[in-house]
Structure 1
């Protein structure tokens, strides 16, 4: 992602507000060798069955492996970030895990069974969403779907609402130890106009949702693709944060789910 700033500057226009004041980085890319170490920074331990929709995703490719999160949206579909599926050849999905290494069960899925948004653009983080088809899941208190917002003519911005993010990302910018338990943190949605002051309007479009990260509480490496939920409804997919770190107080950004409800329905029927 170090080339990002150079490439964006090449697109510079007269409006400085288009350009990010801080570099961006996907949580997947926060370490030079992507791993499954760590958890959400300054989060809390989840209890069993607290987030039955949370999935752990271990991606593999010829160039290495990486860890992401995802959300169950139907008995045979997971939604995650496009930057998680990008370049992958297969993924092992961990279902029903509170302790990361002790899922209720796993499924290994080939890339032919996922759909990455056809207009995903890494440079400006556009359309950062993918869906993964799974074998039919047996739903239970430990493994269950999360609701999607209802398709409507207009949607809430969610500004001022407090939502919950969950995942197995890093505990801090310097963390190296594996966290055994799923983590969660409550984060307040901010207006996009505030988020643009950090990342610029080229990055923060209407399809992006941002949260404040006070007290060094944020999503971090390993949380990519995971859920941001409000009252049992999926409103965001962990997408990117500041390249300067997870604990610096910069906004964290998510793919805004309401912008992709039609795309999800057309590709999955959900």
Structure 2
């Protein structure tokens, strides 16, 4: 299958050896190697963390004290000790290299929120790269987060009808050449028609992936692993998109969470 180059990993906080994915995979010209990602929700606005208490900054432990709290991906608290993120964010990392930051809307405000240790990393056994899907990981925390959780969407929730509105959240880039930000962003998007993504992304699989965006808002580098929230449920995990992040009207690709609800539930119960 023709491979359009994806932006997949952006090493903001970690050395190259750590192979950290700072955002979603982006597509670039055919035959090119994956390009380093850029970062926040384009077209978004500042979000109050109290409105999204389950939002997690997945951070690189050695960089936890920097102005971005070491954040390189987003995540979602789905149980007191379980965080869902993208597999490409966690692949190749040991639990001790990771931290989960909760309750910190502004990553530069080190006095706010909690920083929790990670005791285990589960990556979907079918994950190889973002183009092949299964871009799902679950982090186990060493202690209860003490925060509300976001329910995981299931096939019974009817989340993926084209046009269904949702909210993207992340600390990623707000433009291709915009400076990196520290404040959590929120953006209103809608589920896209599967056939549109099939045209834009040759590797798009409607069984395991979903596209979302709007004429003014889309995911960008740095948003990887973060949530798409629909009807109060975790419906998507930011996975990849086209590079550059403009034109904004092109949707990004996310994990279709309902497809993996049973896998996530098994990790929650484990």
TM bucket, shorter chain: 0.7 to 0.9
Q: Does the 8 A contact of 1:94 with 1:106 survive in 2?
A: yes
Cα offset for 1:204?
Answer: 2.8
1:186 match: secondary structure? strand
| CA deviations over 1:58-110 (Å, ceiling 9, x no partner) | 1369xxx8700000000010000000001222211111111113341101325
Cα offset for 1:213?
Answer: 3.5
Residue in structure 2 matching 1:79, options 84, 93, 103: 84
Aligned to 1:16: none
Give the number of equivalent residue pairs. 239
Aligned to 1:92: 99
Aligned to 1:186: 188
Q: Does the 8 A contact of 2:150 with 2:234 survive in 1?
A: yes
Residue in structure 2 matching 1:159, options 156, 162, 166: 162
Cα offset for 1:38?
Answer: 5.4
Q: Distance in 2 between matches of 1:122 and 1:150?
A: 24
Q: Which runs of 5+ in 2 are unaligned?
A: 24-37, 63-69
Q: Does the 8 A contact of 2:116 with 2:141 survive in 1?
A: yes
Alignment RMSD: 2.7
1:211-226 matched pairs, under 5 angstroms:
211-215=212-216, 217-226=217-226
Q: Distance in 1 between matches of 2:55 and 2:163?
A: 24
Aligned to 2:142: 135
Aligned to 2:153: 149
Q: Which runs of 5+ in 1 are unaligned?
A: 1-7, 10-19
TM-score (norm 1): 0.79
1:40 match: secondary structure? coil
Larger radius of gyration: 1
Cα offset for 1:266?
Answer: 2.0
Q: Distance in 2 between matches of 1:30 and 1:158?
A: 35
TM-score (norm 2): 0.79
Residue in structure 1 matching 2:126, options 110, 119, 136: 119
Q: Does 1:25 align with 2:7?
A: yes
Q: Distance in 1 between matches of 2:141 and 2:129?
A: 25
1:39 match: secondary structure? coil
Q: Does the 8 A contact of 1:213 with 1:252 survive in 2?
A: no
Cα offset for 1:250?
Answer: 1.7
Cα offset for 1:151?
Answer: 5.7
Q: Does the 8 A contact of 2:130 with 2:239 survive in 1?
A: no
Cα offset for 1:184?
Answer: 0.5
Q: Does the 8 A contact of 1:75 with 1:137 survive in 2?
A: yes
Distance 1:144 1:219, change over 3 A: same
Cα offset for 1:180?
Answer: 2.8
Which segments of structure 1 move beyond 4 Å, counting only runs of 4 or more? 30-38
Cα offset for 1:158?
Answer: 3.0
Cα offset for 1:135?
Answer: 2.6
Aligned to 1:173: 176
